[in-house]
Structure 1
Amino acid sequence: MTGSDAPLRILAHTSAVPRIRREVTRRGLFGLAAAGGAGLLSACGGGSGSGSGGAAATVVPSGPPPSQIATGGPLENAISMYSWGDYDAPKVLKGFTKDEGPTITTDSFGSNEELISKLVASKGTGGYDIVVPTGAFIPQMVQNGLLAPINKELIPNLQYMDPAFLGQAWDPENNYSICKAWGTTGFVYDTTKISRDLTTWKDFIDAAQNEASGKTSVLDDPAEVTGIYYWANGIDWNTTDSAQIDACETFVVDELAPHIAAFDSYPGGQAIPQGTQWLMQVWNGDARIGIMESKTPENWKWVLGSPATELWMDNWAIAEGAPHPEAAHAFIDYVLTPENQLANVDYIGYHTGAKDIEAKAKDEGLEMLDLVFFTPEQIETMKTGEVNDAQQRTVDIWNKAKAAAGA
């Protein structure tokens, strides 16, 4: 981990983020410049993404002075939120305004790097109150004064959170962040086009190179694309070994990319319902939405990537210089109530870290919960990402793969 005065090194923008109706909702830890955003390229270790354990990360420093913490005074009349696209149940947003008063304005980003770039550029004057970064990015965001501390006395509904999803390595005391949602990566395939059972990343690769050649999509995210190789071959996803990275590049660029038809981070919005591709790498919540919106859901099969895959966690946080800190705290507290947590689970298709949320979702008859909740054994196979020195190589491989695929 770099020191508290570590610079934020920013990559140039490369492309625009596609906006679709249900672009659920977030990108992976290393969406470096992949979605119209800029990149944070500091070597900051990631932490555990769930109660299943994980790599240790640097403890968050003390940060801004206590005078910037909300005190529980009257709520301001508005909130501005900067988050992943379509990441909150509309009924929850409308309910907050109806019950508490402040109106909510939302703006969306396509990557953590895009979020950080905008916060750096605004220097605390961007007007955002609530932001939703992924866990591994939080320590350096705090060190560089991009996040304000949370007054947990104003968040009594923390009592409804499962302790397994609090106290993560990137923020052990939850002084700057509270779990919003977490998820993982796998793939879906059309069983009417691919008749054999696919169960692993090696199966995904084999099908992509054979019967699904030219009808396969991967996530438009550097680490997800390279992850396919690492996960399939039992290699640490966060490797900085140059020989392993070289082998990954050879495979992804020369062997996989020629068979790829699309780099699509949101296949649940269009590609799955429309059957555009036959085999698609996808995040679990997006897979759930795509299958549920398909006219032939029985044709699609979801597979959790194995023998290993990703685990990410997005977090509620308050931007430094937030103009409406009282309302921001009130909103975070509001969404943590059991009924609002359940509404968000149903809408976004991701586990929100709330206590007993799986049992409540089953009681309410929510659909396709095997794509939302995972067993301890499955969680043990999920690995959190790191912001490390291999990032630029990962981006380079992704760029070369897109060129080789003609994307």
Structure 2
Amino acid sequence: MRRLYSFFLGIVLIILLLWGITNQLEAKNTKGTTDKLVIYNWGDYIDPELLTDFTKETGIQVDYQTFDSNEAMYTKIKQGGTTYDLAVPSEYMISKMREEDMLLKLDKSKIQGLENIDPQFMGLSFDEKNDYSIPYFWGTLGIVYNTTMVQTPPKEWEDLWSDEYRDNIMLIDGVREVMGFGLQSLGYSLNSKETNQIEETAEHLYNLTPNVKAIVADEIKGYMIQDAAAIAVSFSGEASEMLDGNENLRYVVPSKGSNLWFDNMVIPRTAKNIDGAHAFISFMLRPENALRNAEYVGYSTPIPEAKAMLDQETQNDEAFYPSAKTMMNMEVYDNLGPEMLGLYNDLYLQFKMYRK
């Protein structure tokens, strides 16, 4: 009987031992999950060395994934499957995600460096108290042109329709961007909800198609650097890289009006590493890190101390840091709502198909 008791006691001890080992493994796996931060950002939109330094400082491994449009980012997060701890959408998409309860409210007690941000980039209409988003970069939409390939440099959106530019314009592939400059070329708001204005703009864009050489995404930089086209409509940061790669290129922001955009850091509601996301936001708000990021990416920093450390030529370049007068004519994208955005999308798709 005593042997039988010892036998069962041995089995119990083995079970307890195995249970303990299992719990340790589960704890280790759990720890591995919390020590990883999944970031969802635009392509080529951060200095990769900053990610390495963040990991060295915090011990948090970064899984950095990219998207090429706000709509693609929204769809991926909405569908679930992949859990993202931090994302970088634009202003109108932040508004949309807030309305659909897709974002977590930030715990500002866990964020250091909020005082480093220029007040003019805080409290904007898409997040009036910055409860859900913190500025990352800002910039403009404008026109890049090659001085050796055009006789008359374009200055305003309506200039793009000139016969001089036939089959020589590249457009960034974005519904709000193309429909927006189309609307502004006719004197309308890029946030117009007037159906007649939007349809008139679509017809006007059809007239632009003889001048359009291609509609592309990130590769637009390489094409312009290689003199593949005379003109491009693109973002200021993309333009900065183009100008660095080709001394004949110039960038102009239409003085009558253009898009002033903001990309902000947000935490999706499905995030797992919430503390890590707050830590990363704090890390990016340090002036020295904001400076490194601005120098690498080429977009405008919302951190005045970082801007002050840029070279004087960049600080004084109104194409990338526009004057107050130019800023007055700029418009920020509004959330148009699903019905109106659907109309924009449909007409833009028809424009892309029409030019083929």
TM-score range for the pair, normalised by the shorter chain length? 0.7 to 0.9
When normalised by structure 1's length, the TM-score is 0.75
| 2:78 aligned with 1:130 | no
Match of 1:282?
Answer: 234
Unaligned runs of 5+ in 2: 1-32
Give the Cα separation in 2 of the matches to 1:134 and 1:329: 19
Give the Cα separation in 1 of the matches to 2:322 and 2:273: 37
Q: Is the 8 A contact 1:285 1:349 kept in 2?
A: yes
Aligned residues: CA RMSD: 2.0
Give the Cα separation in 2 of the matches to 1:368 and 1:107: 33
Q: Alignment partner for residue 108 of structure 1, among 63, 66, 76?
A: 66
**Offset at 1:204?**
2.3
State the Cα deviation string for residues 144-199 of structure 1 (Å, max 9, x = none): 33211211111121121111111222222211110111111111111111122321
Q: Alignment partner for residue 259 of structure 1, among 211, 215, 236?
A: 211
Match of 1:96?
Answer: 54
- Give 3-state SS (helix, strand or coil) of 2:65's partner: strand
- The one-letter amino acid paired with 1:349 is G
Q: Alignment partner for residue 36 of structure 2, among 40, 65, 78?
A: 78
Give the Cα separation in 1 of the matches to 2:307 and 2:322: 10
Match of 2:101?
Answer: 145
- Give 3-state SS (helix, strand or coil) of 1:147's partner: coil
| 2:127 aligned with 1:171 | yes
Greater helix proportion: 2
| 2:185 aligned with 1:232 | yes
Q: Alignment partner for residue 118 of structure 2, among 139, 162, 174?
A: 162
Give the Cα separation in 1 of the matches to 2:324 and 2:94: 26
Q: Alignment partner for residue 341 of structure 1, among 285, 290, 313?
A: 290
Q: Alignment partner for residue 261 of structure 2, among 284, 295, 312?
A: 312
Match of 1:372?
Answer: 320
- Alpha-carbon spacing, 1:139–1:157, altered in 2? closer, same or farther (3 Å): same
Q: Is the 8 A contact 2:172 2:220 kept in 1?
A: no
- The one-letter amino acid paired with 1:398 is Y
State the Cα deviation string for residues 257-291 of structure 1 (Å, max 9, x = none): 13211002335531111111111111111011012
In the TM superposition, structure 1's runs of 4+ consecutive aligned residues that sit over 3 Å from their partners are: 365-371
Match of 1:394?
Answer: 344
Match of 1:245?
Answer: 198
**Offset at 1:367?**
8.6
Give the Cα separation in 1 of the matches to 2:316 and 2:214: 26
Give the Cα separation in 2 of the matches to 1:105 and 1:325: 14
Give the Cα separation in 2 of the matches to 1:283 and 1:211: 23
- Give 3-state SS (helix, strand or coil) of 1:142's partner: helix
Percent of pairs with identical residues: 27
Q: Is the 8 A contact 1:89 1:344 kept in 2?
A: yes
Q: Is the 8 A contact 2:145 2:230 kept in 1?
A: yes
**Offset at 1:311?**
1.1
Report matched runs for 1:215-226 at 5 Å: 215-226=168-179
Q: Is the 8 A contact 2:77 2:83 kept in 1?
A: no
Match of 1:328?
Answer: 277
Match of 1:121?
Answer: 79
Higher alpha-carbon Rg: 2
- The one-letter amino acid paired with 1:373 is Y
Q: Is the 8 A contact 1:239 1:390 kept in 2?
A: no
- Corresponding residue pairs, total: 322
- The one-letter amino acid paired with 1:259 is N
- Alpha-carbon spacing, 1:277–1:141, altered in 2? closer, same or farther (3 Å): same
Give the Cα separation in 2 of the matches to 1:195 and 1:129: 49
Give the Cα separation in 1 of the matches to 2:77 and 2:56: 29
When normalised by structure 2's length, the TM-score is 0.85
**Offset at 1:108?**
0.8
Match of 1:272?
Answer: 224
**Offset at 1:368?**
8.5
